[in-house]
Structure 1
Amino acid sequence: MKNFSAPINAIKKNDLLINSDYESFLREAQLDSFDTVWNYAAGEIVKKIKDRSVIRLSFAKNNALKYYYLKRHNTEFIGIKGILKSFFGIKNLSQGLLEFNNICEFRDKQLQTVIPVAAGEKYHHFFWVESFLVTQDAFPYVSLETLLDKNPGFFQGDEGRQRREKLIRRLSDLARKMHQKGFNHQDFNSTHILLFYHNNPDSPEIALFDLQRVEKKFSFRFRWKIKSLARLNYTLPEGIFDTQDRKNLLLFYKGKTHFNLIDRIEWYWIEKKTKRIQRHTEKRHNRPFTADING
């Protein structure tokens, strides 16, 4: 069984930052440099947009296939500010290395997330950088979004109601723990929440992925609770989750059973933020799409 919270021993190898547990795998797969990973031509395209692409890779080992995900970040502009930061020794990480480091920091704080394999970056003409991140497939975990789409009945009926309550309690506890440890996942929603129902069929193990946009600015921590619970609330489908389920997001986050006046004000903010997310999402989806996905 994979360990999704164990600390990572990250080492520099050639021009890569790698998880030491995968050093031999990368060498045997001939993926031990930036160019060999970036130019790897095989694999199944999972996502391809202007800024980045995600490829699913498979490798045979012991008569079984092992799966990995390669997220390539196309050339991004870091500007003079980024160069000056590097010159003065200030960390200015590309998207690939930033997410690798975020994963490691989450695990250092015993927060469950995916297993990083390697990351790399390559500069062009000083102001531009390409980067990538390789992670191992999270099986047997599945996203909450997939579970809700493929098996909505799991959360319906009397047993489903109990499962919903336990799930929301676990998610609220995770959000609070994450914030207390100094992190805010800016895409805390059903897409990026991984679940595994194992020993307890009603209470899942939970992990997060896609840690590229993790906020660590302490000056904005008072907003984290509102933003995180609103994002999650928006992605919990109507017809499965009722009003009490949604209010439980805040109640369980705060360890309470009833709202007081301050809680009601916070819940009003969460509902307002949820509606704003909905309007923004609908507007974005209705916007004509002109980006070149092959760019």
Structure 2
Amino acid sequence: MKSFQFEQLDGGALTVSAEFVPLLQSSGLDSFHALMNSSDGTVAKNLLAERTTTRFELTDDTGTARVFYIKRHRRPPWKEYVKPWLRLTRPILGAENEWRAILAFHECGIPTMRPVALGRRNGESFLVTEGLEGCIKLSDWMERYLGQGENASSSPRADSRDSEAAAPVNAVVDRLAAIARQMHSSGLHHQDFYLTHFLLPAEQVDAPQKVHVIDLGRARQCRPLSARWVVKDLAQLNYSASRFSPADRRRFLEQYLGREIGPGDQRMMRKIERKTAAIARHSRRHQL
């Protein structure tokens, strides 16, 4: 479990991790306006006009270039409020939800992004995190290790691996199961629990040890955690792990449950399969 110390700047509009206050101050980025309107960096993600993510670098007092990401949230259109209400759910808008989720993940020991700053003013907000450099997405790692054949079941590395080939795959499966188990037992659910939102240090591709969870914009914490959210997370992971074999999936579920799969687990497994199929249909329909 990692804890952080924070300082309030700019009249409370800016919350900054204490270790990054000197760096932001020396860079002239110690106010809401400066961070919200800085043009430095390169756009990393811009799917919505009201939400953009930019990568930028700052040089610390040792001369080391530090990489950061800022996710800016402008005022959303009214439809972003209406859609959740029609589904009888609470709108998740702005940067504060992801900020709280990052702190909650750290609190329960799940590796994720390091929080740097949160800014809020007049309906606009932003989140700054330190970059997880030198990592690859698990979706790319999967293609590297299990990308032979048309699908996972036809790949010789999926169902008939020797111990050397099986070791990194088993390690990834075990890490994913441990993350999912810890997350759900802590009342957390991700809502975008796909392999593309997991990062593995590049030097560990052949011997995975630590996996980071990213993109926590829709993650929430509630106790007790509804089975609906558990099924959704596990189905999203199941859908994205298309190259994994039935044996890999069974290993994941047994590691997640902390025991062998029994007759009483069949109902949950059927729900996961149905939700996985629904995600696949949605993805085909919208060409995702």
Q: Under TM normalisation by the shorter chain, which class is it?
A: 0.7 to 0.9
* Whole-Å separation in 2 of the counterparts to 1:181 and 1:231: 19
Query: 1:136 maps to which residue?
Result: 130
Query: 2:75 maps to which residue?
Result: 75
Task: Indicate the RMSD between aligned Cα atoms, in angstroms.
Answer: 2.8
**Correspondence 1:96-245 to 2 at 5 A:** 96-123=95-122, 129-149=123-143, 152=146, 156=157, 157-158=161-162, 159-196=164-201, 202-238=207-243, 241-245=244-248
Structure 1 position 46 matched with structure 2 position 41? no
Query: 1:85 maps to which residue?
Result: none
Bigger Cα displacement from structure 2, 132-141 vs 28-37: 132-141
Shift of 1:181: 1.3
Shift of 1:253: 0.8
* Whole-Å separation in 1 of the counterparts to 2:131 and 2:75: 25
Q: Describe the SS at the equivalent of 2:286.
A: helix
Could you list the per-position Cα deviations for residues 79-133 of structure 1 after superposition, in whole angstroms to 9, with x for gaps in the alignment? Answer: 9x9xxxxxxxxxx99621221122112212222211111111221xxxxx11111
Query: 1:34 maps to which residue?
Result: 32
Report the identity percentage: 28
Kept in 2, the 8 Å contact 1:182–1:216? The answer is yes
Tell me: CA distance 1:99–1:72, structure 2 relative to 1, closer, same or farther (3 Å).
same
Q: Describe the SS at the equivalent of 2:113.
A: coil
* Whole-Å separation in 2 of the counterparts to 1:282 and 1:199: 33
Shift of 1:73: 1.1
Structure 1 position 256 matched with structure 2 position 254? no
* Whole-Å separation in 1 of the counterparts to 2:77 and 2:213: 28
Structure 1 position 271 matched with structure 2 position 265? no
TM-score under structure 2 normalisation? 0.81
* Whole-Å separation in 2 of the counterparts to 1:54 and 1:101: 18
Q: Describe the SS at the equivalent of 1:285.
A: coil
Q: Describe the SS at the equivalent of 2:120.
A: strand
Shift of 1:191: 1.4
Query: 1:7 maps to which residue?
Result: 3
Could you list the per-position Cα deviations for residues 12-42 of structure 1 after superposition, in whole angstroms to 9, with x for gaps in the alignment? Answer: 1112011111000110111111110111112
Tell me: CA distance 1:12–1:40, structure 2 relative to 1, closer, same or farther (3 Å).
same
Kept in 1, the 8 Å contact 2:187–2:221? The answer is yes
Bigger Cα displacement from structure 2, 153-162 vs 248-257: 153-162
TM-score under structure 1 normalisation? 0.80
Shift of 1:162: 2.5
Gaps of 5+ in 2: 82-90, 149-154
2:165 partner letter:
G
Tell me: CA distance 1:150–1:73, structure 2 relative to 1, closer, same or farther (3 Å).
farther
Tell me: CA distance 1:229–1:93, structure 2 relative to 1, closer, same or farther (3 Å).
closer
Shift of 1:254: 0.9
Shift of 1:142: 2.9
Q: Describe the SS at the equivalent of 2:195.
A: coil
Kept in 2, the 8 Å contact 1:198–1:204? The answer is no
Bigger Cα displacement from structure 2, 188-197 vs 25-34: 188-197
* Whole-Å separation in 2 of the counterparts to 1:242 and 1:77: 42
Query: 2:55 maps to which residue?
Result: 56
Could you list the per-position Cα deviations for residues 142-175 of structure 1 after superposition, in whole angstroms to 9, with x for gaps in the alignment? Answer: 3212323456579945333232122112211111
